[in-house]
Every structure is written in C-alpha cells, then in structure tokens.
Amino acid sequence: MSASFASALGAAHDAAAAQHYPQGALYVVATPIGNLADITLRALHVLQLADTLACEDTRHTQSLLRAYGIDKPSAQLLAVHQHNEAEAAQAVLARLQQGQRVAYVSDAGTPGVSDPGARLAGAVRAAGLRVLPLPGASSITAALSVAGAVASGVAESGFVFAGFLPTKTAERQAAVQRLQAEPRCTVLLEAPHRIGELAQALAVLGERPVTLARELTKQFEEITTLPASGLADWLAGAPQRAKGEFVVLLHPAAASEDDGDSLRVLRLLLQELPLKSAVRLAAEITGAPRNALYDTALAWKREPPGDAD
C-alpha cells in the first residue's frame, strides 16, 4: 500500500460503513482516471466489502486495489470486458442470486459510459436485481467542467456524447459532416494513435472552437482550446501532444442573428426545389453561409424538422 493512502481505508470505514449495502446487488464503482487520490471514500468501502469484483482487466484492478491496501484473492476477481460482457453477465447473475455483493469497475472512470458495463447493468436489471451507482471520476464531465463550451440559446443547451468516431476515413468524414449541423457541444473520445487523423477530419469545421483535453488528472495533463482548422498544427508542434487518451469537445457553432430567417427560407425552398438549388437560393436571399445551410438541409433530409407553428 502507498503510504499516501495509509489512512484512507480507516476514513472510508468511518464515513461510509454506517450506510446500508444490500446483498444480491451490483455496485457500479467509478475509479480514478489517472490521479489515485480521486477515489471516493464510499468506493473504497465497497471495494473492501464486495464478495466479487467484476473487472474490465483483473490485473489492472488488482494493482489498483494494492495501491489502496485492499487485498482480494484472485478467486474474488471476475473478468467482464467488451469481448465477453454478455456471457460474463451470467456469471455475475449467478453470484448475485447467491446473495453476493458484486462491485463492477472498469480500468478507469465510470463504467457503462464509454467503457464496458452497460450490458451488465441491463442484464442485472432485467433479472429483477438491484444496480447501485457509486459516482466518481469521469473524463467526460472533467473536460466539460473546464471547457466553457456553452450554447448560445437555452433550447440548444447541454451536450451530445458521440464517443469514438468510425476509424474508416469515409465513415469518419460522414460523421463529422453530421456533427457540423449539431448546435450543441459534442463530446468525442480518441486514442493517441488516431488523434492526428481525427484532427485532420475536424479541420473542415474551420474556426469552430475545439477543446482538446489529454492526460486528464495526470502529471502531464494538458487542456487547450483552438480553432478546428489549427488542431493538426498544434499536435505537430510538440511530440508529447499526441500522447495519452483524449477528450475532444466541439464547442457549439456560433449562431448568427439571421439563423431563424435563413432556416425558414431554406425550409420553404426545399418544399419546391431540389436540395442544392434550395441551398443556393437560400444563401443568396439571406446571406447565410452556403455550407452551413447545406449541412442543415442534409440533416433535415435524414430527419425532417417538425412543422412550423
């Protein structure tokens, strides 16, 4: 156990032991995304209390437990990852039905968001058993909390979680085109060996602000906001910038004052004209950017807007 956490287990017991922890329940436990001090006291208590730990990677979890001074035999660790989640859920259900407390942890962060765990939670709920969340670290909310990525209108507030974009070039470009028409903040995740390709794909967004957050909560944490067209150059500016896991936030597109008029004109023209002709005329009539109108028209074609009031 690290000396830094010598008193943590005692504090966890004092703070959390008096609470109720039902048997036969699945505890979904968030773990640190880098900084070990971000563990919660309740998480430490449940990790000690659990009869079984379901883990994305048993070796990684065992190292994490040892850092906090928690000793669990290998028989109490059960591998549940993206490749075996469906079948491993049955093993978890069997233990829950025996009255065990099972804690599920991914390698880092909150399970079931971008990491495995959602199918497991769904299977446990479908069996009529309890699933209890133990909230904690998340790279998504950590990045959002410091980016200041605020939409201009109340109706367009909030964010969209898109996760990892497709790896094939054409599919990724199509996904970026769809995101271009999304008025809310969009959250992406990317691995270090593909961040350069993502930066090139996002360059079509031009001056739209993008926040890159890498190595969150770790020693070399770096958070920067710059235009989408400058992402590739920024990454190339220093070798270490392409290392570590990335959260990428596409800030909401800036709304122009005539957005409402241009979209109304576009919608009327689309009722009478082919898409390209309607976009060209709408841009000429309203002065709105043709590319933005074209992306909106494509989005409407996939999912038509509601009737005007």
- Is there a contact between 244 and 215 (Cβ–Cβ < 8 Å)? yes
Domain limit, last residue, from 213, 231, 250: 250
Task: Please tell me whether residues 27 and 52 are part of one structural domain.
Answer: yes
Q: How far is residue 32 CA from its own chain's centroid?
A: 15
Task: Please tell me whether residues 241 and 271 are part of one structural domain.
Answer: no
Query: Is residue 108 one of the residues assigned to a domain?
Result: yes
Task: Please tell me whether residues 67 and 153 are part of one structural domain.
Answer: no
Pairing of strands 25-29, 130-134: parallel
Can you give the CATH number for the domain in which 235 is found?
Answer: 3.30.950.10
For residue range 103-123, list pLDDT tens digits in order: 999 999 999 988 889 999 999
Task: Please tell me whether residues 95 and 153 are part of one structural domain.
Answer: no
Domain that holds residue 79: 3-137
What's the number of CA atoms in the CB half-sphere (13 Å) around residue 41?
12
Task: Please tell me whether residues 114 and 43 are part of one structural domain.
Answer: yes
Task: Please tell me whether residues 177 and 235 are part of one structural domain.
Answer: yes
- φ and ψ of 255, to 5 deg: -90, 130
Rounded Cα distance between 114 and 10, Å, is 32
Quote the strand ranges of 36-176, DSSP E. Answer: 52-55, 77-79, 102-105, 130-134, 159-163
Query: Is residue 195 one of the residues assigned to a domain?
Result: yes
Locus of tokens 């109720």:
20
- Cα of first residue to Cα of last residue in the chain, in angstroms, is 64
Residue 251 has pLDDT above 90, yes or no: yes
Query: Is residue 307 one of the residues assigned to a domain?
Result: no
Distances (CA, A) of 285 to 15, 139, 256, 280, 308: 65, 44, 15, 9, 20
Find the DSSP H helices in 68-188: 85-97, 118-126, 139-147, 169-180
* DSSP label of 35: -
Q: How many domains does the chain have?
A: 3
For residue range 56-78, list pLDDT tens digits in order: 999 999 999 999 999 999 999 99
* DSSP label of 307: P
Instruction: With 0.75 as the threshold, say if the pTM is over it.
Output: yes
Task: Please tell me whether residues 10 and 123 are part of one structural domain.
Answer: yes
Mean pLDDT of the chain: 90
- Confidence tier at 264 by pLDDT (50, 70, 90): confident
Query: Is residue 308 one of the residues assigned to a domain?
Result: no
Q: How far is residue 279 CA from its own chain's centroid?
A: 34
